[in-house]
Structure 1
Amino acid sequence: MSANERDYAEKRDFIRMRVDAGVSLIHAGQEIAGVCLDLSSSGMQVQAQHPFNVGDQLKVRIDSEHAALKGLEADTEVVWARKEGDDQHLGLKILKMY
């Protein structure tokens, strides 16, 4: 099996949930607003106007709208980045969740 075939197969091993939720991306002491487009147990796709590079380490925070539910905080790494108009779509691998 080639690396591309393995990558595709691994992507299908995790259920992705469409989210469309506001996120805060923290990088080098700067907080940048973005939108989480989808989320799985191992990563997420995020849209932001700030340019990031593959390999950048980002802390991601998704606040909960419900007092009884805790939001999500995770350390992530950019594994791919694609420019789309004025925005950039990012594939983030979750390294650690809080």
Structure 2
Amino acid sequence: MRVSLDDRNYSEKRDFIRMQLQTRAILEHAGRQYPALCLDLSSSGMQLEVEVALAVGDRVRVLIPSEHSALSGLEAEAEVVRIGRNAEGVHSLGLAIIDLR
């Protein structure tokens, strides 16, 4: 039996559009900063790759500097809601945005 996109359960569809990115970021946790790569961003969350191990429920701060002097960067308080790890040992963090500044 083939399942089309129209047959998918509505709950599987995202409520927010995610912008695909490949931009550097800084992850702050427990008073330390770690270099990170932001893979995607939406109004409710983001996905980062980082080499530090965190736990679901950890609160973090994410800084995405602007590459343009006329634009300010993004600063967000977020909570880790999902963790993955690739073959190279890099952690993929799914973050829920709590507050944007």
3-state SS of 1:70 partner: coil
Equivalent in the alignment of 1:38: 40
**Identical aligned pairs, as a percentage?**
46
Distance 1:17 1:55, change over 3 A: same
Which protein is bigger by CA-based radius of gyration? 2
Q: 1:97 aligns with which of 77, 87, 100?
A: 100
Gaps of 5+ in 2: 1-8
Paired residues for 1:67-86 under 5 Å: 67-85=69-87, 86=89
What amino acid maps onto 1:90 in structure 2?
L
Paired residues for 1:3-82 under 5 Å: 6=11, 8-9=12-13, 12-82=14-84
Q: CA RMSD in A?
A: 1.3
Cα deviation, residue 5, structure 1: 6.4
Gaps of 5+ in 1: none
Distance 1:51 1:5, change over 3 A: farther
Cα deviation, residue 67, structure 1: 0.5
Query: C-alpha offsets along residues 20-49 of structure 1, whole Å, 9 cap, x if unaligned?
Result: 110100000000111000000100010011
How many residues are treated as equivalent by the alignment?
92
Cα deviation, residue 13, structure 1: 1.4
Whole-angstrom CA distance in 1 between matches of 2:73 and 2:67: 8
**Runs of at least 4 residues off by over 6 Å:** none
Query: C-alpha offsets along residues 54-87 of structure 1, whole Å, 9 cap, x if unaligned?
Result: 0010000000010000100000000000111210
Equivalent in the alignment of 2:91: 88
Whole-angstrom CA distance in 2 between matches of 1:94 and 1:63: 17
